[in-house]
Chain A
């Protein structure tokens, strides 16, 4: 290789971007070539001069004010889009969560109130004893069913633990523990809890 070819690699060498083997060869050449070393120093000084000259420039003070002054003049659609994008999504998710919680609490309280009322004491029919729990009080199901629909059909399947209801009726001593276990399990599905709670409580002797 001649000096011109080595000098073609000087920039990459200065910038630390030269491959190892090429770097070793170039360094070996630089040790013995005054001209190439001088060119390398010039390029380094030139970079330094560019950096110094540009960084010495003062940035106009009015820049920030000018930018902020022009923001209100942006088209409304663009300004609206500039609002941090996750704020809208977060608000929507919060509203949905609040609605679900409100529906759950309302359904639960309705079930307790209805079950505790002596005039509206639900009757456990023969079909519920045999495993098909269908409350005869119509005041409970309409409250929670729409909310259950939001989560799909899974809760309604678990909300009818037929064998448990039968056990509850036949073994009064284990009723409370059993009911607690059932509530805990079904609570995993959230909105199904009022129905099961009501069903088990209603089946108590």
Chain B
């Protein structure tokens, strides 16, 4: 039993960063993400017998995490519907000062992501951060490939519009890089 726990500690050490990044991407909240990662590791510990060595442990626990994050968002009523998102677009009339702050702050990226519907966000993070294929994402989220493609594309295009300061014209590539802090590297 003690040996199992020590072995499990190694797994936690190895995968905690990966899972934490994924959870932050989907939940857009670092504290919630840390809680989710803990819960998911405990859930995995309790259901190791279900794993049975089929496939990669990483894929297995990632699936648990994504489902857990989506469940958390639903419980917190953060699962924005398309109607809600459209309303967000309509209400997005920031003043000049606020827009300037957003331009100079990479926080705009986080804000834009947090405004995406959770399923768009999950698909986008799984693609952009984890590098999964559409097929892998569709299996993980339990939706067809075409749906994944649609979610990712809509997520990207809405992000693009949300980050745009005035919402009317898309900035040049250089401007966009500054808005999202991309040019600081």
Contacts and interface: CB of A to CB of B under 8 A. Distances in A.
Interface of A: 7-8, 10-12, 15, 17, 38-39, 41-43, 45-55, 57, 59-60, 63-64, 66-68, 70-71, 74, 78-79, 81-85
B20 interface: yes
B129 to A, nearest CB: 5
Contacts of B166: none
Contacts of B163: 46
Interface residues of B, number: 53
Chain B residues touching A, majority SS: helix
Top 3 closest A-B pairs, CB basis?
Answer: A11-B153, A49-B180, A47-B128
A45 B45 CA distance: 38
Contact of B52 (A8, A66, A78, A85): A85
B34 interface: yes
25 contacts: A12-B134, A15-B133, A15-B134, A17-B149, A42-B160, A42-B170, A42-B173, A43-B156, A43-B157, A46-B176, A47-B127, A47-B128, A49-B177, A49-B180, A50-B25, A52-B185, A53-B106, A53-B110, A59-B21, A67-B38, A67-B42, A70-B38, A71-B5, A78-B46, A85-B52
A43 B160 contact: yes
Interface stretch (B8-16, B63-71, B80-88): B8-16
B46 A45 contact: no
Interface of B: 1, 4-5, 8-9, 12-13, 16-17, 20-21, 24-25, 30, 34, 37-38, 41-42, 45-49, 52, 106, 109-110, 113, 124-125, 127-129, 133-134, 149, 152-153, 156-157, 159-160, 163, 170, 172-173, 176-177, 180-182, 185
